[in-house]
Structure 1
Amino acid sequence: MEKNELKTTDSDNGHSPSETEKHLEHGVPVDAVNLPDPDEGLSEEERKRIDRALLWKLDLRLIPWLSLLYLMSFLDRTNIGNAKIDGLQEDLNMSNNQYNATLTIFFISYSVFEPLTQVLLKRFRPSVFLPVIMILWGICMTCMGLVHNFSGLMAARWFLGLTEAGLFPGVNYYLSCWYRRSEFGVRAAIFFSAAALAGSFGGLLAAAIVNMDGVGGKPGWAWIFILEGLATVVVATLSFWMARSCSTEKMDLQLTICQVHDFPDEAKFLSEDDRRRVIRRLKLDQQSSAEHEEFKLDYLWASLKDWKTYTGMMIYMGVDGALYAFSLFLPTIVQQMGYKSIHAQLLSVPPYAVAAVVTIFIGFVADRTRMRGYCNMVMSLFGIVGFAMLLGSGSPHVQYAGTFLGAMGIYPCIPNTISWTANNVEGVYKRGISLGFVIGWGNLNGIVSSNIYRAEDKPRYKPGHAVVLAYEAIFLLGGSVLQHVLLRRENAKRRNGERNNWVEGKTEAEIEKLGDKRPDFLYTL
């Protein structure tokens, strides 16, 4: 994020200190200065060493397990694409439209319930909420392998969307409550790279599982659902058991990273001093999300009235619509290039592997440069070129190269857009609700993605590729440019003191509650 430096008054201009300037002490928020400092009296070098050790502790406890949870989530929602090329549609006697309907119904329930889940995550604690929804979606996934007709698959997919709705926006919001804005992006990228790994791993796993065809009287595609669903239940149960029954002081690192922790102000794996350090470093970054806050409808209205909610929704629909089209249909696209079932499964692996690496790299670059908008713009160009290659060429080699560029233009922009939104929305519930709206609207576009690759358009699937190309050019690229310009204009007004009247006559507590409406809060570009 851009460093929050308020424009100081120049003596030759004759300006007196503004209300906003009074809210800062030596460039640091007063509420942060007043927090207990467990490292008082230490040198700057000692403070940096303690801060690095604290970050490393947070990374080890939070990132690996959460990434695994999302890997399983994305694997469970997209493995239907792998099942399709192994005979799912034929065995259940489904038409092409019925198959697309099973994809569509997931996104309806998934999108509708996402904003609500952000409130539930905060109220029921991550250590309870996340494992519980995982167990539920693991059961739904297992049931997908037991269905015998179209209606059964539709019901299972509906409940899969409902139960998975809380994970992705929930974890992104949760991580934003632990890290500074300039640290959040690369962690979100590492977390989301699990989605690319899920696509890569899913192809390999599916290629192995389909060899179980006939075991227990079940076809190979059914075993994809059953085994992956049961694995999800096992991981969720392990997370819940670790969170409820283990004392971190008596556990080694291998155990403690296998659980979901609560928010910083009540995290049991941190000492009292470390909890103070986390909250203090977030306050210095002008964040209040680490602390307790009661839910009020005012936070919902604040999110709905914020223009950044709608530009975020526009950007995210551009990248998410492309994401689901790519992940659901890549095996089918590769198969239509002339490759058989297992070969097509395996060839779907490399584009995802490249996307995972690029996703983490862009997360690192965006954190260092604090220019998330530019990162979105540049990467969207890769996606546009990739889908233009798929649309314009009939050569299998050119098309396959296009899938690499397409993946590179999609996957890095997902965590970068989420980080961009989280960086620019302050307040515990407002941020969670805004992320719910942005991600929910983006996922609603999975309905479009589920219906644009039609059987009658094979083997080139030109309408599908054209729609994805339009999504990336108009919404992802165009939306990123629009939001970047508007944020830059707003920052200029704040630096010039044009928003200082917002805090005139307000107390420190009232100014704090303004969140990202505080005139000294500069937006990440």
Structure 2
Amino acid sequence: MSVPAVQADILVIDSKTTGSLTSSDDKLGQGHFTSEPTTSEEHLVLRRKNPFLDPRKAAHWKQVYDEADYECRHVFDPDLEWTEEEERRIVRRLDWRVCLWACVMFFGLQVDRNNLVQVVSDTFLDDLGLSTNDYNYGNTTFLVAFLVAELPSQLISKKVGPDRWIPVQICLWSIVAGLQCFISGPGSFLVTRALLGLLEGGFIPDLVLWLSYFYTSRELPIRLSYFWTTLSATGVVASLLAFALLRLRGVAGWEGWRWLFLIEGLITLAVGVASFFMMPASAVQTKTWFRPNGWFTDREMAIVVNRVLRDDPSKGDMHNRQAITPKRLWNSLKDYDLWPLYILGLICYIPQSPPTKYITLTLKAAGFDKFTTNLLTIPFNVFHIVTLVLITRLSDVLNEKTFVSMIQNLWCLPCLAALRWWPGVSVDAWGTYAAVTVLLSYPYCHAILVAWTSRNSNNVGTRSVSAAVYNMAVQTGNVIANFIYEDDDKPLYHRGNTALFAINVLAIALFLLTKAYYVWRNKQRDKIWNAMTEQERTDYIANTTLVGSRRLDFRFAH
């Protein structure tokens, strides 16, 4: 029985003896190879999805890496072997040095992006003569600017390298964030919102691209879950900072919210400066004048590179200072097989967005003072961390993306129903708090969808563009969400919550349709591929000009 090239191959070689190769099926019904060793000694493992076991594929990809001038091509080794313990040790080091710093940088983004939620619990709106509709306009201005900057920022990052562009971004937006302490009215409020959006736009896909240089597709969702737990952790820290900084009212004649903007901007500026020294361009470029020994030995460096390439050979089809050409950009944008994920990004986060932005205003309207209001936002951020990690782990364990991600909107459905139709919300402050807290503790599927988009792109150029387009879809959803809670609908927002409930039902339906679409597309390709002879498959792999998810030997994750 022939094994299609798209199937996940695993070869286990005993360090002293070699067993016979046999075919077996994994839980997804895909074929893979395992050896049956004759001893119980430690095995050397060639990582799963190793296309380089086939010399024809190894030669093909070596040519691709050489032509692309891929920066890690000199350590590409189809026959490199390593132990599982070596790999675990290296991944732990990557977690401490790559993933942890990514979380620190994301903390800087969240502090400056979301501190508007804290300042509106103070007298910010009253001091500037702003209504809640003006607050909506400010959020919308930020999101539109953020959205517009997504793709250009990603193109700049791909040209100069995320290790250079990301620290520049952080430093620039932190300066604008700190200068918000001088806001004097609606005009300066909207200007600073627009500048922050332009400078912060593209940061998330830029950072995801950098992370993808070091982690496999199976590891990336878990690391992104840590990344997005920073969102909730930042909410806790920001609430505690707000509790302290808003008490500076009167110092130097300033309101508390002015001190909050200034101090948090300075914190982020420190993160931006440090990032210039904390982000190597790639696994083979960790040695520099301030880090003369680098992060890895030569063997460890080779393992880091080859494990990533064996998981996804396309990660070496561009080098990390290579710009995306207009042709590559157009081919990526018209890849319709990724659009189901973009549509999910547009719709599935809308139901949680207005309650998140309005929680401090909602709690103030329910009768809580500004200090208690900020402290009451801490519990849902803590619960959000737990549910986010759990849902991402569940996706990894089950190797399932669609149904696990859909849990997010299934969770929100009864909560939105309570906000809209439960009478207790309208008469009881603590009832309001309970309903909103449970809703905002939802299991966030964003890490799964970001990694899912990256996995289904199957190409560095497409991955760069798709990350930006996906995030643009998410920000477009946030823009839509800003017009759901309106001034004439407060304080219970019955009309708005009815709309959120309907959108949430739509999101559940879209998850099911996405699953059906990718199953159908894979079956289409299986039918064509299985009808080809071995020679036809070999010729296709060697000669096709199709790239990314357009390749016939690629299967979509779902």
Q: Same fold (TM over 0.5)?
A: yes
Query: How far apart are the structure 1 equivalents of 2:143 and 2:363?
Result: 24
Query: How far apart are the structure 1 equivalents of 2:306 and 2:544?
Result: 18
Secondary structure of the structure 2 residue equivalent to 1:424: helix
Secondary structure of the structure 1 residue equivalent to 2:515: helix
Q: Which residue of 2 aligns with 1:427?
A: 459
Q: Which residue of 1 aligns with 2:519?
A: 488
Higher relative contact order (CA 8 A, sep 6+): 1
Q: Which residue of 2 aligns with 1:263?
A: 282
- Checking the alignment, whether the CA contact within 8 Å between 2:171 and 2:272 is kept in structure 1 is yes
Query: How far apart are the structure 1 equivalents of 2:549 and 2:368?
Result: 52
Question: Sequence identity, in percent?
Answer: 22
- Checking the alignment, whether the CA contact within 8 Å between 1:452 and 1:464 is kept in structure 2 is yes
- Checking the alignment, whether the CA contact within 8 Å between 1:5 and 1:27 is kept in structure 2 is no
- Structure 1 counterpart of 2:511, one-letter code: S
Query: How far apart are the structure 1 equivalents of 2:408 and 2:60?
Result: 37
Q: Which residue of 2 aligns with 1:48?
A: 84
> Is 1:447 the equivalent of 2:479?
yes
Q: Which residue of 1 aligns with 2:96?
A: 60
- Going from structure 1 to structure 2, the CA distance change for 1:366 and 1:27 (only over 3 Å counts) comes to farther
Q: Which residue of 2 aligns with 1:5?
A: 7
> Is 1:402 the equivalent of 2:435?
yes
Secondary structure of the structure 1 residue equivalent to 2:219: helix
- Structure 1 counterpart of 2:484, one-letter code: I
| Alignment partner of 2:151 out of 100, 115, 129 | 115
Q: Which runs of 5+ in 2 are unaligned?
A: 10-22, 24-50, 63-72, 288-294
Matches within 5 A, 1:37-436: 47-240=83-276, 243=277, 259-268=278-287, 269-290=295-316, 292-293=318-319, 294=322, 295-395=324-424, 396-409=429-442, 412-436=444-468
Tell me the number of residue pairs that the alignment of Structure 1 and Structure 2 aligns: 487
- Checking the alignment, whether the CA contact within 8 Å between 2:142 and 2:193 is kept in structure 1 is yes
- Structure 1 counterpart of 2:200, one-letter code: E
> Is 1:463 the equivalent of 2:489?
no
- Checking the alignment, whether the CA contact within 8 Å between 1:193 and 1:356 is kept in structure 2 is yes
- Structure 2 counterpart of 1:5, one-letter code: Q
Q: Which has the higher helix share?
A: 1
- Checking the alignment, whether the CA contact within 8 Å between 1:130 and 1:260 is kept in structure 2 is no
The alignment yields a C-alpha RMSD, in angstroms, of 2.8
- Structure 1 counterpart of 2:307, one-letter code: R
Query: How far apart are the structure 2 equivalents of 1:435 and 1:492?
Result: 26
Deviation at 1:343, TM superposition (A): 0.9
TM-score (norm 2): 0.81
Deviation at 1:47, TM superposition (A): 1.7
Q: Which runs of 5+ in 1 are unaligned?
A: 11-22, 244-258
Structure with bigger gyration radius: 2
- Going from structure 1 to structure 2, the CA distance change for 1:207 and 1:451 (only over 3 Å counts) comes to farther
Q: Which residue of 2 aligns with 1:18?
A: none
Query: How far apart are the structure 1 equivalents of 2:282 and 2:88?
Result: 20
- Structure 2 counterpart of 1:57, one-letter code: R
Deviation at 1:142, TM superposition (A): 1.0
Query: How far apart are the structure 1 equivalents of 2:55 and 2:552?
Result: 14
Per-residue CA shift, 1:27-69, capped at 9, x if unaligned?
Answer: 9953599686779585xxx521111112111111111111121
Deviates more, 1:56-65 or 1:502-511: 502-511
Secondary structure of the structure 2 residue equivalent to 1:130: helix
- Checking the alignment, whether the CA contact within 8 Å between 1:279 and 1:290 is kept in structure 2 is no
